[in-house]
Amino acid sequence: MTPVAVPGGGCAPAPGCFAALGDSLTEGLGDPVPGGGRRGWAALLAEALGERPGGVPLVNLARSGAQAADVAERQLPAARALRPRFASLLVGANDTLRAAFAIERVAAALDRAHGALSADGAVVLTACLPDPGRMLGLPAPLARPLGRRMRAVNTVVHAVSARYGGVHLHLAEHPWVADRASWSVDRLHPSERGHRLLARGFHTVLAAAGRPVGPPPALTLDGPAPTRAGAALWMATRGTRWVADRCTDLLPGLLGLALQECRHGLTGSGRLLDAAAEGATRSALAALGRPHGAGTGKDSGTAKGAATMAG
């Protein structure tokens, strides 16, 4: 299925399309195509959606580096103008890598985006994401604060999806996530295999929810799998700069969090940090108030049941 063109950044209405919102995960990083460009899980899934062979048109609005607020403020208006039949909302990992991380802002942005798309009648796809600290293999004092943030984001994503009756994939603990071959050399983005497995996972939960789908996305690879040598070369030539560019504003604060983690570890009070994060997440969800679209008469504006899960 050929993606729908978006001339000059504008979006012509494309009722029945699949609008993909998010960051580099959805943009397709890790799944290059011959001649340049990227494909990614959203394009693979689009080919398996709908009642007709060939799937539905895809408009990929995702942008590398996007945070939850970027999706709500920039991508959401473009997506709503398309009047999509399906929409995906995968974002939050970049928020955890910023010094100014605040779960209440992430929750508000995700609720705004999911609520608006649902109220417009779109089937909204979400997923819990893996812990970036674990994926990067960071030392425990550095990984734990990032893991705590990612758990908070995943809790919010799951709750918001359930609130609006979305279709949710519990990806964070899915078996293939632990398989190195499913990840590209940067360890943060899926490889072609990972993108295919992610598309297959969404196909499974959509089918279980009774949504129209065709044959599942194929798992046969078009390109070579990533190698350990390739990963080492990437880290030596580009990876260090890539990590530094994304962690410049995070690193001082993360070192402070790591020291705090060590102090609590020495006193055996690490559970206090977990409890504080859990309390902040509960407060963020409680602050969302009435679901967007409630009382408007739109079928998708309110959650009619728990989100569909798999994994």
Residue 234: per-residue pLDDT: 52
List the single range of 154-158, 187-191, 202-206 with lowest mean pLDDT: 187-191
pTM recorded for the entire structure: 0.82
CA angle, residues 228, 144, 125, in degrees to nearest 5: 75
121-141 pLDDT, tens digit per residue, is 999 999 999 887 777 777 777
Residue 11: per-residue pLDDT: 54
- Which residue's structure tokens are 């990984």? 143
The C-alpha atoms of residue 200 and residue 197 are separated, in whole angstroms, by 5
20-72 pLDDT, tens digit per residue, is 999 999 999 889 888 778 899 999 999 999 988 889 999 999 999 899 999 99
pLDDT at residue 5 tops 50: no
Residue 249: per-residue pLDDT: 62
Write the DSSP assignment of 62-85 as a string of letters. Answer: --TT--HHHIIIIIHHHHHHH--S
245-296 pLDDT, tens digit per residue, is 655 666 666 677 777 778 777 777 778 888 989 999 999 999 998 887 654 4
Mean pLDDT of the chain: 82
Which residues neighbour 283 within 8 Å (Cβ) at sequence distance 6 or greater? 104
Structure-block tokens of residue 123? 């089937």
